[in-house]
Amino acid sequence: MRKKDYSMKIEGPCLECGEPGVRILNMRMRRPDTGATWGPNLISAVFCTEHGDKGADIWIDYRPRTDGHVHFNVRANGNIVRFHHQVKP
């Protein structure tokens, strides 16, 4: 039996420096059972090894929504990535 491949394809330049991206930003809303209510990978928010592994200052401005959507805006070095995710009912 073959082992399932959970790897993801990461494409694009590092948001901080423009080098090839090899790390991807991810955020999840967890439940007590450790499952996730939502947890999209921010596909366009990629970083090189240097800028992905050495730490970061992350600011979160959390504003609840009632329409079943999650919107992310990621900014690094003046570059902004916007990502939209619809929560499964």
pLDDT tens column, 37-78 = 887 776 678 899 999 999 888 888 888 889 988 888 888 888
Q: Identify the burial level of 45 via C-beta atoms within 10 angstroms of its C-beta, where 0-12 means exposed, 13-18 middle and 19 or more buried.
A: buried
According to the model, what pLDDT value does residue 49 have? Answer: 93
For residue 20, name the pLDDT band (cuts at 50, 70, 90).
very high
- Please say whether the beta carbons of 69 and 83 come within 8 A: no
Check: pTM over 0.95? Answer yes or no.
no
Q: What is the mean pLDDT of the chain?
A: 83
Q: Is the pLDDT of residue 21 over 70?
A: yes
Sign of the torsion formed by the C-alpha atoms of 48, 51, 55 and 56: negative
Domain edges within the chain: 23-86
